[in-house]
Structure 1
Amino acid sequence: MATAKTKDILALIEAEHRQIEQLLAEAENAKNTQLYNYFNQIYKALNLHTGAEELVFYPAMQEYEETKKYILEAEEEHEETKALLEELKVLKPNDSEFKTKMSDLKKAVQHHVKEEESEIFSAVQKCMNQEQLIQLGQEFQEAKAKLEEDVEVAMTT
């Protein structure tokens, strides 16, 4: 993974989007134990990603009229994703509902990623300079590190 000192927040978020998309694609073809392992990776990656965005990226966007308007919808999409993750967590990979909910999760993530990368990123780039984006990237990485233990605990409860 890229180091916080060299990557701006947009590059970090985009890299994580690709990683999560890859995990979702691999999970589609997986069976039982393998599927469960992919789900655990997806659960952790999405919770760390959404949590760090909410702690670092969205508050920074709140500072600018041009980006503030995107926050409410993005947070609602995060809530939908988190709800699906929690519903999936209590199911077993061979439950009939599991594949349906995984498909719903994939659609929700794809929608969010598309909006974030096509609309939000360009608005952010118009408001923040490279130095600010790099600083936010560092804060984003730090926030993820702080959230890691809580996410690990949530996975087992």
Structure 2
Amino acid sequence: MDIFKALREDHDKQRDLLKQLVSTSGDTKKRQQLFKNLRTALETHADAEERYFYKPLIDSDKTQEKARHGIAEHHEIDELITELDQTDFSSPAWLRIAKNLKERVEHHLDEEEHQVFQIAGKVLSTSQKESLSKAYQDHMNTK
């Protein structure tokens, strides 16, 4: 498996969790559990992605700007997660922030898959794509 397939699999899980989360209402166990699962998935993914995808891309002039942009988007997503964490689950503002989070994450995932992956595919060798995937998956499996 190459790094792109590994990342896409996690992206699909994140999209599913986001879709489920914004369909919830009120301060329910389901909303709390979905948010907890999403927060963990996003944080773990961002950490591993920065180490095993963006870090190698920063070393290339062709991909440096895109890698830095992706990392900056991770920080924007972190801020929205923190905002959700500090908002009452039953507040109408919570769902508004959750929908904003969904839009930001989906924008980030789409941009990666349709722009960054194409450029990275030209910069990374086949063996790098495979070794990065293994390191990424090993990291994800230990979290």
The match for 1:51 is: 47
Displacement of 1:23 after TM fit?
0.7
CA deviation vs aligned residue, 1:51-82 (integer Å, no higher than 9, x gap): 11112211110222211120221111100001
Mark the runs of 5 or more structure 1 residues left unpaired by the alignment.
1-6, 149-157
2:6 equivalent among 6, 12, 37: 12
Alignment of 1:133 with 2:129, yes or no, is yes
Preserved CA contact (<8 Å) 1:55 1:143: no
The match for 2:113 is: 117
Q: Aligned equivalents of 1:17 and 1:83: distance in 2?
A: 19
Displacement of 1:48 after TM fit?
0.4
Superposition pairs of residues 21-60 of structure 1, within 5 angstroms? 21-31=15-25, 32-60=28-56
Q: Aligned equivalents of 1:56 and 1:65: distance in 2?
A: 17
Aligned partner of residue 91 in structure 1, secondary structure: coil
Displacement of 1:145 after TM fit?
4.2
Preserved CA contact (<8 Å) 1:56 1:143: no
Displacement of 1:129 after TM fit?
2.2
Displacement of 1:141 after TM fit?
1.9
Aligned partner of residue 70 in structure 1, secondary structure: helix
Q: Aligned equivalents of 1:112 and 1:145: distance in 2?
A: 23
Superposition pairs of residues 95-110 of structure 1, within 5 angstroms? 95-110=91-106
Q: How many residues align?
A: 141
Alignment of 1:66 with 2:28, yes or no, is no
The match for 2:72 is: 76
Q: CA RMSD in A?
A: 1.3
Displacement of 1:99 after TM fit?
0.2
Q: Aligned equivalents of 2:82 and 2:99: distance in 1?
A: 14
Q: What TM-score, normalized by structure 2, do the two folds share?
A: 0.92
Structure 1 segments, 4+ long, off by >6 Å, are none
Preserved CA contact (<8 Å) 1:26 1:38: yes
